[in-house]
Structure formats: C-alpha cells, structure tokens
Amino acid sequence: MLEKKIDCEVLIIGSGPGGSITAALLAEAGRDVVLVEEGPSSVKSSKPYSLDEMNQKYRNGGLTPAFGKTKITYIEPRCMGGGSEINAGLYHRPLKEKLDEWRADYQIDNLEDKALIPFYTANERELSISTVPDGAGPASMKIQTGAEKMKWEAHEIPRWWKYSKNDDGSFKGTRQSMSETFIPRAEKKGCHLLPNTKVKRIALQSNTGKYALAISTNEISEEIKLKIYFRYVFVCGGAVQTPTLLRRSGIKKNIGDSLAMHPMVRMPALFSEKVNEEHRGVPVHQVQEFKPHLTLGCSLGTSPFLALWLADHPGNIRDRLKHWPNMAVYYAATITQKRGTIRNLPWLDEPFVRLPLTSKDMELLGEGLYKLGRLLFSVGAEELIPPVLGYPIIQREQDLEIFRKRLPHGKTNITTIHLFSSCPMGEDTRRCAVNSFGKLHGFENIYINDASILPGAPGVNPQGTIMALARRNVDHFLQNL
C-alpha cells in the first residue's frame, strides 16, 4: 500500500453542514485547512431521490438499523456535503424554550437565543433561506388545508433553496447544499479537499491529538495510507460516526452514551385526485400545533420511496404504484424518551447502535398517526396504509382508533433522518463530552462541531441549530487562538 504524509494547521473530519461551515470560515480566516470526507465528491449526475442517488450518497443505501425492542432504520449520508446533499433543506431556528432548557441543564455558556441571532442571520443570508415562490404542491397543501379545518397551527417551512425565474414564468430552484455554498468557499481560500478518505483513528500523545491515520482511495482505486499531522482537529462526522471514531481512538468519556433521535412513522395516503408532482420535491408544510413532542408533515412521494412504504402490506406493489400521482406519503415524528448508545465491535467496521423505544414513544407515535389520519380524511383521503404489519388498510375515520392503543413493538416500521446528542456540550463534565464551544473536555486541541454536540432532541429539523452552533463555535475558536 502506498503511504503519504500530510501536514496542516486544522484538520476537519466530515463535510456535512458542521464540517463545511467550519472549513469555510477557518479557511477564510487564513488558516491552513484540510477537509476529509469518507464518501465521494457530490455526485450530481444521479437523479434526486432516486435509487441511484441512495446507493451513491447514503451509507448502506440508507438502511442502517438502530437496535432495540423495535428497530429504528436511520439514514446517514456518505458524500461530500453530507446531509445537505440528500435532505429537503427544511430550515428551523431552534426553539427558544429548548435553548433555555439546555443552557440550564447542561451549564452551557452563551446559548441565549439573542446571542445566536447574528449566526442565524448570517447562515440564512448565505444559504438563501426562503419559501417556495410559486406555491407549494397539492400534497403539501393537504397539510395546510387539513390543519385549518382542524383549527391547528400549520406553516410552510422555509428551505435553503435559491430560485430563478424561467422564460415561461415558472421558477427553477437549486438546493443550496454545502457543495453549492460553503465547500466552494473553503476551496477558494485554499482548503484542501480529500474525498474517498476514511479516518481510522486519531493518534494521541497525553491529552493532545497528534495525527490522524486514514485510508484514501484514488481515481484508479489504489489505496493510500495517510498520516495527517495537525495542530487542531475538528471531528464533524455526525451523531454516529463522530463517537465511533473517537471511541476507536481511545476517547470514551461521555462519548456515544446519550444518542437521541426524532423517530418517525410514515403513512401513504390515496386520494381521488392528483396530488403528487415529482418535480416539486419534498413538500414544505408542517403542523406546529403539537411541537416539540409531535410533528406532522408530508414526505417525499417519488415512486422508489412510495415502494418502500408500501412493502409491508400484501398486494402487488406495481399495481399500487400505477396510482402514484394520487398518492402521497405523510408522517408523524416525536422525540425519544430514552437515550441510546454507540459502540465499536471488534473486527467490524460499522458501529453497533442501540436505542430502546419506550411504551411512551410508541404511544406518542400512535397518537401522531391518529391525528394525522383525522387531518387526511378531512381533506378527502380515501385510503391510509398504516406502517404496522398486520394492520388493515384504513378507509374510515372511526378505524383510526386502532392507533390509540399504542403501536406494537416489533411490527411497526419506524425510521429517522434526525440523529444528535451523542457527545453533548456543556460545562457539566459528569455527562458532557465537550465544553460550551465544542472543545473536548480534557484535551488541548480536539473539537467536535456537528449534530453530536446538541444536548438533546430539538423537536424541529436540527440543521438550522447545527449550523448556528457551528458558526458560533468557530467564531469563539478564532477569537481565542
């Protein structure tokens, strides 16, 4: 195997929103930065939300399990730009009450909503946070109309998309992912990108990180053993891969002991009229009435994704997919009541993730499906296909009562795209992995700057929170060099 040595001032491991923002801001501040990504450079040739994209950009094709009495299938990106390349780009500022709760419970400095406003506004400006200029699609509007009928609060959620007007008056939207925004900014200022490079461990000397050992694959599929020396390292691999790497490196205190998620159940709905338009992408409306404990919304409805949510029910999926224009996938999401763990297993490259869903979790998800079903029937749904093995297709509102008995463990199809809190921040060293600004407790030059450091489940899409904290932490780092 070829071997190579690299020297840099700052090594950043992981290129999702946390890592990309860190790379861009440090490079623009004149720092010598290397950004390492295990996956490939963002593949733009694949059709968005297609099976090709899932195979190219998702770890394990998007089907990785967290174990417990009921398995949770979670999605992890594995490409340059991380989750920003595959998600809907829905943007929320963190809930003020959550920030107040975290600040008090975890002893976090400077986490007031007012203190974060400059970081929110900078990200919102640079990512073109905006609403859909030509109106949301019919599947999304079912949420808004149904909420109005139920007298529930619902809103269109803005996204990091930039829109331009076509000659015919229609609008073309471009997702402002990291590969469109912060990664080019980092490159322009001299940041060196290393895609297809997996960091195996960080070598330590006393309480200091010295270098990272990595395996890189070049364009002719040769493996190169890298030894990357750094002055500072930011680990930004996400809520699962960050603790996996740190534990593999021998750093274990409060690492991978407190994973939280937003578990989600999805339910396809059939209408008499056309509601699904593939060019619309992910619908943008959500019910806010029951946040943070319950969120109701509409998910992606392309044929491959519809097939996933139809697979648990008897019948010919191909026949059902003939009606895809009249179908959409809706969801209910909640906050996990207990924390999960992430552990490395001998001789295996992938971590073992465990998160036990409680009876309360299953009750909340069942209540979410009940409320969601009522909303969908109010706007003309003809059939609802429940995410539970053995449950019949629901055609009447009174049959929704089945969800209120609590969803059964082991038979309910539960997924998540939101994972966080595996290395929480704060000054309470009994349970926090990093300090208030992401520096690893007990170490001189190791930082975490991704979803891992959120102290708990935010109850909204976490990426707005992650990006604001990433920017805040880099600002603090530069001021204290």
**Whole-number Å distance between alpha carbons of 313 and 18:** 39
Q: What beta strand segments (E) does 402-465 contain?
A: 414-416, 419-420, 446-448
Does the annotation count 285 as an active-site position? no
What is the C-alpha to C-alpha distance for residues 460 and 464, in angstroms, rounded to an integer? 9
From the candidates 262, 285, 313, 418, give the one annotated as an active-site residue: 418
Q: Distance of CA 362 to CAs 39, 50, 310, 366, Å?
A: 34, 30, 21, 6
Residue reference for tokens 């930004």: 236
Residues 309 and 307: their CA atoms lie apart, in Å, by 6
**Placement of tokens 């009495």 in the chain:** 69
Tokens of 160: 């990091």
Q: Which residues pair with 228 in a beta bridge?
A: 6, 212
Tokens of 196: 């297809």
For residue 347, give both structure tokens: 């001789």
Q: How far apart are CA 419 and CA 425, in angstroms?
A: 15
- In angstroms, the CA 401 to CA 373 distance is 10
> Residue 92 carries which DSSP code?
-
Q: How far apart are CA 317 and CA 92, in angstroms?
A: 35
Residue 478 CB partners (closer than 8 Å, separation 6+): 25, 26, 29
Distance, in Å, from the CA atom of 22 to the CA atom of 232, rounded to the nearest integer, reads 12
**Catalytic residue numbers?**
418
